[in-house]
Chains A and B, each alone.
Chain A
Amino acid sequence: MELTDSVAVAQARDGNSGAFRVLVERHSRNLFRLAYRMTGHQEDAEDVVQETFLRAYRQLAKFDDRASFGTWLYRIAANCSLDLIRARKRRSENQESPEEGAPDPMQSLADAAPTPERLALSSEVERRVAGALDDLSEMERAAFVLRHYEGMCIDDIGRTLGVQPNAAKHSVFRAVQKLRRALEPLVST
């Protein structure tokens, strides 16, 4: 019989690594999806998945049995992703900034008139969407991913990201505004 999450958590707390393995195998793919959407990089997402389980294991005693283990993991993964994005940002700030005056590839794309042919190129749309998501601030992207892809309500997003619901709501609004500015040329009729 398949172990439920709550039984597996209880056994893992008692030091049963097999029970924790069940949880890792069950939730890894969903966590990867969330981490990839938040970080935009496969390698980073892989790191986030591993770090999430390590943190979860260390904090297992703090997990409230009445809550959903999956949601709890999502919260940890969202925070791991934010940490990683911030660390990446710090690293990139220390590296050479792009040459001034160099054309912005996203800008040149935005100037191009959308045509049905271009819209048919799904890879182009995917690239534009990925670029627009990359242009969001870390908090905007996190809030938007949790709202849009994961269907979290604003209150839960605030709790997950450790901000007031109002701040979470405004992060979602700002993200949508930016996405709209960047992507509307693709969809306006």
Chain B
Amino acid sequence: MDHLTEEQFVLYYYGEGDGSAGVREHLDACEACRRGYANLQRVLNIVDAAPVPERAANYGAQVWRKLEPRFKQKLNGRGTRWARWLTPVLWPMRHWAATAAMAGLVIAAFLAGRYYPKPQPSSQMASSAGQVRERILLVAVGDHLERSQMVLVELVNAHPGQSLDISSEQQRAGDLVSENRLYRQTAARTGDASVAGVLDELEPVLLEIANGPARLTPEEVDKLRRRIEGDGILFKVRVVGSTVRHREEKAAAIPGQKSL
């Protein structure tokens, strides 16, 4: 007599398949299979011993409290890009504080550069001060573009077809948004059209990353990748970043500035 297979045992245990009657009949007649099946039953019964930590009766309310702010944001911004663009209005105070501090520094640097007495041919010191300011700004913008590029590269290189936790990229994009705005304004005022242009295009992308969901479905990952690649923003950031670095090196190579 052929004995029952393990697959038949499993199907029978779970009430799957259409051979239950035959299996029952066999088990009634076969001591070895009856013993084997009893063992399987015992194993599967003790699997139920794996405990699940109990959650309080108000667990659902706790979950809702964590979710509510994110839903409200979604409900308020359903289908509109404007809502996402306007979200910075709701930034926490620490972001505004950091932004204000940085604004102060950049504006001071800009005004100092603009209204500082024009360098006299004989005044090498004054000339050097202007070049130092320009170089500091170039270094800052170069760093900013490099960090933005890293965030974009990480998202573009994510595994296709898999969901993705971008909470770390979100945090960094959130920090980059405020810097981006200041550098863009400064670049626009000083007439640096190429830097101002790329920062202008970069800003909505950073905002979108910072204010979107922390965990992206494969479809959302794909959409974000297409958004970054479609606009060519990564390429532009690379090109302008490299130009800025080149200018920064040239500024550093000016005689008298080598010690900086």
State the A residues within 8 Å of B (CB): 15, 17, 20-21, 24-29, 32-33, 36-37, 42, 49-51, 53-55, 57-58, 80, 83, 86-87, 122, 125-126, 129-130, 132-133, 147-148, 153-154, 169, 172-173, 176-177, 179-180, 183-184, 186-188
- Chain A residue at smallest Cβ distance from B213: A54
Contact check, B39 vs A184: say whether CB atoms are below 8 A apart. yes
Interface class of chain A by DSSP: helix
Interface centre among B67, B68, B75, B213 (most CB of A within 10 A): B67
- Chain B residue at smallest Cβ distance from A82: B163
Contact of B71 among A17, A26, A122, A132 (CB under 8 A): A17
A-B contacts besides A17-B71, A54-B70, 5 pairs, CB < 8 Å: A25-B60, A51-B215, A125-B49, A133-B47, A180-B43
Mark out the residues of chain B between 26 and 81 whose CB falls within 8 Å of any chain A CB in the assembled complex.
39-40, 42-44, 46-47, 49-53, 55, 59-64, 66-68, 70-72, 74-75, 78
A53 to B60, CA, bound (A): 11
A183 to B22, CA, bound (A): 28
* Across the A-B interface, the 4 shortest Cβ-Cβ residue pairs: A25-B60, A187-B42, A28-B60, A129-B50
The answer to whether residues A29 and B59 also contact, given A17-B75, A187-B46 and a CB cut-off of 8 A, is yes
Contact check, B71 vs A20: say whether CB atoms are below 8 A apart. yes
Which of B6-14, B182-190, B234-242 sits within the interface?
B6-14
**Interface status of B2 (Cβ within 8 A of chain A):** no
Contact check, A187 vs B39: say whether CB atoms are below 8 A apart. yes
**Interface status of B162 (Cβ within 8 A of chain A):** yes
Mark out the residues of chain B between 146 and 173 whose CB falls within 8 Å of any chain A CB in the assembled complex.
162-163, 165
Separation in Å of the B8 CB from the closest CB of chain A?
Answer: 10
The answer to whether residues A176 and B10 also contact, given A21-B64, A122-B49 and a CB cut-off of 8 A, is yes
Contact check, A50 vs B63: say whether CB atoms are below 8 A apart. yes
- Chain B residue at smallest Cβ distance from A16: B75
**Interface status of B16 (Cβ within 8 A of chain A):** yes
B53: which A residues are within 8 A, CB to CB? Answer: 36, 42
17 A-B contact pairs sorted by A residue (CB < 8 Å): A17-B72, A36-B53, A37-B52, A50-B66, A54-B67, A54-B215, A58-B74, A58-B217, A83-B162, A86-B162, A87-B163, A129-B46, A129-B49, A176-B43, A183-B47, A186-B43, A188-B39
Contact check, B74 vs A176: say whether CB atoms are below 8 A apart. no
Separation in Å of the B169 CB from the closest CB of chain A?
Answer: 14
Contact check, A129 vs B10: say whether CB atoms are below 8 A apart. no
Contact of A153 among B16, B44, B60 (CB under 8 A): B16
